[in-house]
Amino acid sequence: QFLRRQQVLQLYRRILRAIREVPAEADRQYLKEWAREEFKRNKDATEEDAIRMMITQGNMQLQELQRTLKLAKS
């Protein structure tokens, strides 16, 4: 459980760091609120498989955001 918590916190930090790269202030604010709400909504999850699936889904969304930002910069 402790390791899972570390994974979740690490994912949250990485998402927030990626959001900082978003050029438009309004979009940045929206994404920050979205991330906060998603993590808050799922904070009481206890089922191991569900948590693992949410971490995987969060990582995929983070990769998509990073890809989009990379395309926007080029």
> How far, rounded to the nearest angstrom, does the alpha carbon of residue 74 sit from its chain's CA centroid?
23
Q: Which residues contact 8 (CB under 8 A, 6 or more apart)?
A: 39, 51, 55
**Could you give the number of structural domains in the chain?**
1
Dump pLDDT digits (tens) for 10-34: 999 999 999 999 999 999 999 999 9
Instruction: Identify the band that residue 74 occupies on the pLDDT scale cut at 50, 70 and 90.
Output: confident
Instruction: Identify the band that residue 2 occupies on the pLDDT scale cut at 50, 70 and 90.
Output: confident
Dump pLDDT digits (tens) for 45-62: 999 999 999 999 999 999
User: What is the domain extent for residue 68?
Assistant: 1-73
